[in-house]
Each structure stands twice: as C-alpha cells, then as structure tokens.
Amino acid sequence: MSKRDFYDVLGVSRGASADEIKKAYRTKAKELHPDRNADDPNAETRFKEANEAYEVLKDADKKAAYDRFGHAAFEGGMGGGGRGARPGGGDFSSAFSDVFDDLFGDFMGGQRGGGRRAARGSDLRYNLRVTLEDAYNGVQKTINVPTAVACSSCKGSGAEGGAEPTTCPTCSGMGKVRAQQGFFTVERTCPTCSGLGQIIKNPCKTCQGAGRVEKDRALNVNIPAGVETGTRIRLAGEGEAGMRGGPPGDLYIFVDVAQHDLFERDGTNLHCRVPVSMAKAALGGAIEVPTIDGGRGRVQIPAGSQSGRQMRLRGKGMPALRGGALGDMFIELAVETPVNLTARQKDMLREFDELSEDNNPETKSFFSTVKSFWDGMKG
C-alpha cells in the first residue's frame, strides 16, 4: 500500500503556512490519539501517519525536499535537506512534543506560560470548649493559635530584603521538566524549584527562604448563641500562611459544649431533674427551679405526683443557632425517700402506712396482678 500524501494526511493545501500546518496537526492528534480511540485498531497507525507528516512539513528544508521529490526525497539517500532524518522510522516524539501542552496541559495539571502558583497554606483546626451558659448567651473568646505566618523580614517572598524570586533556569519557569521515554513524553516536577517555577538566589536569613515563620497568634472568635457540640466555625484566611507569598489557609473552630451540673441539653430543649420530698409530692405545692439565664422558674406540683413526672416551662430552653424561638425546659420530678428518721418519725410513718392502704393504687394493682400470677402457677 502506497503512502498517502502528507498534505492529505493533515488535510491542508500545499500552500499552507507553518501555523496552519501546526493547527491542522493539533486537530488530527487530538482526533486520532490511541488513548481516545481504544476501540479502533487502526487509530495508532493513523496517529503515527499524522506525526510522520507533521515531522516533515514543519521543517522548512524537509518540506522543500518533499514538495520537489515527494516520498522519494527520504528514500535511498536522496537529498533530504539539512536535518535529513528519515521520517518513516516511527520516532515521532519530536513532532508530538511540539503540541504536547495544547493536547494534554489540562490533564497534566500544568499551567502554560509559567510555573505553579505559590503553594496555599494549610487549613488549621482548633478545638474550643465553652460552657452551656456561653452557648446560651453567645460569647467572644480570645484564642492563641500556633501557626506559620508571613515572614516580616522578607514580606513573605523568601528572598533577603524582599527581593523578587527569579525564573528557574532548569524548567524556564514551567515548574516541570520533560523526558523522552520511547513513544511517550513524560513530565515530572522540576527538582530545582520543586515545581514553583522560581528560585531564590539569596534566601531570607529569618525564614531560610520559606517566606513564613512559626508564631503564636491571638485571635478573637465570636461564638454565636445556640452553638452545639460539633458546630464548626470557619475563619477564612486565618490558617497557615502559604509558602513564598502563597495564599493562607483557613482556620476551623470546632466547638465542644461542656456538660452542665444542673441541665441536660437535647437540641434546643433543656432537662432538669428536681428532687422533691415525699410529703410535697403527696400534698402538692409550688417549688422554685433554676433557669439557664440565671433566673428562677416557679412550678406547681400536682398532689399525688410520682417520680418521673415531667412539667414544662415554655421558652426557658436554648436558642436555635440561626435564630428563631427558644426551646423549652422540662422539669422531671424525683420523689425522695426520707433517710435518718427519728423514732417519732418512724412511728408516724408506721401509723400512716397502716392508714394508707387505699392511697397507693399502683401498689394495690401490682400485688393484685402478682396474686393472680401465683394462683395461675398453682393451677
């Protein structure tokens, strides 16, 4: 099978300019690359054909020889021009590298025309414990954060006296270097500048060229009312400073609300367990209970109340984090059995117990059920 005309392979006319030839080749390379045509067994052959055509037509001397002699210009030692390499040998890495950036720059994460941006600083985490009262009212806290801050001596540039870094001579500012490995062109991070595209000839003596130094920093943090354990507060730009003038990271405050001696929290509601005497639970009456705002709430206990009975104080709970109505406070009664009784008190309780057989309906019902159970077991 005879070779196709190189101009036909790239789809250009014989009078096409160098830019038109390169543009046509770029289009063909994208269209025919084997990685994008895994299901086409002929893709690699046509891809090599396009590379061979471009290898000749991009070179003025080879193009002139091809225009005069055709494919015969590169066969049997006929005049092939000043660079005379045989185009049909399958080595097209030179042609392919001319448009490597255009085809795969985005996939490789590179930035055309310059090196990588200065590295962004790391995000930081700070665990902050607050009281339940702080979570109710909201509070401003001053925290000390150990972090890396921009070096004041070089203003974050890393160079002595704040001088500007210079372009890396190894990668010419690209941040990457290339190496040919047979069929492929491989890109690696530049070892001289570590991918930054710039080097510092005279590093700052304070930060040793890093552009940042370790330092404790005091920050004022506003803790909004209604925060709960696990609430995350983001302070943009308050994290670690970037390398050599790079942007800073963020600081994340993770809130932990400490347990309270009196109140147990459930979302926006509060629970408070209040002990009451046996007499108060039996006779009923008013009691005073504490509230999270530091005040007092008055609760009326119904006569005959049992342990575990709950009563509600509306609007005496916690605020919602993003505004809205306050939650409620639930009072749970814990009827207390008296201890350390005197002889007279014991006698009075015995007399009371003898007279109160019909005053304990739950006890009477329970033992009635027990008796039925035992009778059933005997049967």
Give the closest residue to 303 by CA, choosing from 276, 287, 285: 285
Residue type (1 letter), 80: G
Q: Where in the chain is the domain with CATH 1.10.287.110?
A: 6-108
pLDDT of residue 99: 55
The whole-number pLDDT of residue 107 equals 42
**Does 272 count as an annotated binding residue?**
no
The CATH number that domain 263-336 falls under is: 2.60.260.20
- Residue 254 identity (one-letter amino acid): F
Burial of 59 (0-12, 13-18, 19+ CB in 10 A): buried
pLDDT per residue as tens, the chain (379 positions): 578 898 898 898 888 888 888 888 888 887 887 767 777 778 788 888 888 888 888 888 888 888 888 887 776 544 444 444 444 444 444 555 555 555 554 444 444 444 445 678 889 999 999 999 999 999 999 999 888 888 887 877 778 776 677 788 888 777 788 877 666 677 788 887 777 777 777 888 888 777 788 888 899 999 999 999 999 999 998 888 877 677 888 999 999 999 999 999 999 999 999 999 999 999 999 999 999 999 999 999 999 999 999 999 999 999 998 877 899 999 999 999 999 999 999 999 899 888 877 777 777 788 888 888 888 888 6
Res 373: pLDDT = 86
Q: Residues 339, 340, 346, 350: what is their CA dihedral angle, to the nearest 10 degrees?
A: 20
What CATH number does the domain located at 6-108 have? 1.10.287.110
For 150, counting Cβ atoms within 10 Å of its Cβ (0-12 exposed, 13-18 middle, 19+ buried), the class is buried
Q: Does the annotation place 154 within a ligand binding site?
A: yes
DSSP, residue by residue, 165-186: PEE-TTTTTSSEEEEEETTEEE
In sequence order, the 6+-apart residues with CB closer than 8 A to the CB of 1 are none
* Residue 193 marked in a binding site: yes
- In eight-state DSSP terms, residue 73 is G
Ramachandran region, residue 210 (left: φ > 0; alpha: ψ -120 to 50; beta: rest): alpha
CATH of 119-162+206-258, one of 3.40.50.2000, 2.60.40.10, 2.60.260.20, 2.40.50.140: 2.60.260.20
**Residue 215 backbone phi and psi in degrees, to 5:** -160, 145
Q: Would you state the pLDDT for residue 118?
A: 61
Domain with CATH 2.60.260.20 in the chain: 119-162+206-258, 263-336
